[in-house]
């Protein structure tokens, strides 16, 4: 097996594992897939392309869970918001990678910078989505934004713990953009 093939398999495995973890958070929080948390973790542990793949996989899984188990309505508005969420997830992944790569600090600082960039990018896409969709502006009160920021940060810490636990158990690490701590 080549090193490149091994790296691709490790990345695919982590995309699957983190997508499954995001499904669990979607079920627990009844819709709130932690896209910024996933983006930040991917920014320090995966290549940008793999981070976008993770964002897309987590988005697809959250839509599947939402429409099949959480009874999302199959209206044009609901489908439109699903699309906006997907664009936001990709924007968050790209922003996290760009910001993390530009940060010259420690691994923890790169993670924090990536998280902040992902959260802002994701929320900006959602805010732009409110211009063309019914509803959603209520999600931009300071109280709601702080609650979402803290919840996503807590999920990020949980995902980081899961990543470290599985890595210690021998799950091969994906090929990172920078050397993780």
Q: What confidence tens digit (pLDDT) does each residue in 14-34 have?
A: 889 889 988 888 788 776 789
* Average model confidence (pLDDT) across the chain: 87
Closest among 82, 87, 150, 147 to 115, alpha carbons compared: 150
Distance of alpha carbon 109 from alpha carbon 14, whole angstroms: 22
Distance of alpha carbon 47 from alpha carbon 36, whole angstroms: 16
Closest among 141, 109, 108, 110 to 123, alpha carbons compared: 141
pLDDT digits (tens, 9 = 90+) for 89-126: 999 999 999 999 998 888 899 999 999 999 999 999 99
Closest among 181, 173, 180, 176 to 9, alpha carbons compared: 173
Label residue 47 exposed, middle or buried (CB < 10 Å: 0-12, 13-18, 19+): middle
Is the CB of residue 93 less than 8 Å from the CB of residue 51? Answer: yes
pLDDT digits (tens, 9 = 90+) for 60-86: 999 998 888 888 889 998 899 899 999
Please give the average per-residue pLDDT across 133-142, as a whole number.
75
pLDDT of amino acid 135: 67
Phi-psi region of 179 (alpha: psi -120 to 50; beta: other; left: phi over 0): beta
In the predicted structure, residue 180 carries a pLDDT above the cut 50 = no
Q: Who's near 9: CB < 8 A, 6+ residues apart?
A: 172
Diameter of the chain measured on Cα atoms: 52
């Amino acid at each position: 097996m080549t090193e490149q093939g091994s790296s691709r398999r490790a990345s695919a495995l982590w995309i699957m594992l983190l997508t499954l973890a995001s499904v669990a958070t979607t079920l627990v929080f009844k819709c709130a897939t932690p896209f910024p948390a996933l983006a930040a973790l991917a920014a320090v542990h995966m290549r940008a392309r793999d981070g976008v793949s993770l964002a897309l996989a987590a988005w697809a899984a959250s839509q599947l869970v939402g429409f099949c188990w959480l009874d999302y309505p199959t209206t044009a508005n609901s489908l439109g918001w699903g699309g906006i969420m997907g664009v936001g997830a990709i924007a968050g992944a790209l922003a996290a990678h760009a910001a993390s790569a530009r940060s010259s600090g420690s691994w923890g600082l790169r993670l924090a910078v990536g998280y902040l960039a992902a959260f802002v990018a994701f929320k900006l896409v959602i805010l732009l989505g409110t211009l063309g969709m019914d509803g959603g502006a209520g999600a931009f009160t300071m109280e709601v934004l702080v609650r979402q920021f803290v919840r996503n940060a807590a999920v990020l810490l949980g995902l980081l713990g899961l990543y470290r636990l599985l890595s210690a158990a021998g799950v091969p690490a994906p090929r990172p953009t920078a050397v993780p701590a």
